[in-house]
Amino acid sequence: MKPRVTSQCSPAAGPDARPAAFALVALAALALGAAPAFAGSNGLSVKDGWMRTIIPSRPAAGYFTLSNTTDKQQVLVGAESPACGMLMLHQSQHKSGMEHMAMVKSVVVPAHGKVTFAPGGYHLMCTSPTKELVKGHNVPVTLHFADKSSLTAQFAVRGVNGK
């Protein structure tokens, strides 16, 4: 169980103390392992982004939660990262007792909803990983949407077991 981080600013501390207190809370959350959320101007946000790498010569996978706070659906149509030669939208499915993986052209994010990219379901497939994809580091991932908007978030690079 992760410790709970709280912040209280007394009125006597003055209005200038609040931004500093909130900055300290944000830094404490990062230090405790909480993944930051990245929000775009299009009402979309990315939370808990991470890349799973096995060995440098093998494809890697990306996972995250994509939330939509708008009144209309949004459509994810692609992704890119300098850590990948190519970054594609994929989905794993179980058919006839076997797991199959296929590229998908788009993923709909419902109005006021979210889509989770997780092992065994939707994921980003990173082919030809570059030297930037190193466990313990962060890499930028840019998501592209049908309305021509995009959102860039930092993804933590983890090992095969997600750590």
Which residues form the domain of 146? 38-158
Q: How many CB atoms lie within 10 A of CB 20?
A: 11
Q: For residue 35, what pLDDT is reported?
A: 52
pTM of the model: 0.76
Q: Identify the CATH number of the domain in which residue 73 sits.
A: 2.60.40.1890
Cα–Cα dist 34/16, whole Å? 26
Tens digits of pLDDT across the chain (163 residues): 444 333 334 344 444 444 443 333 343 334 334 456 887 767 999 999 999 998 878 999 999 999 999 999 999 999 999 999 999 999 998 888 888 889 999 999 999 999 999 999 999 999 999 999 999 999 999 999 999 999 999 999 999 888 8
Q: Is residue 163 part of a domain?
A: no
Give kind and range of the element (H or E) at residue 135. none
Cα–Cα dist 92/118, whole Å? 10
Domain identity same for 123 and 138: yes
Q: Is residue 124 part of a domain?
A: yes
| Tally of domains within the chain | 2
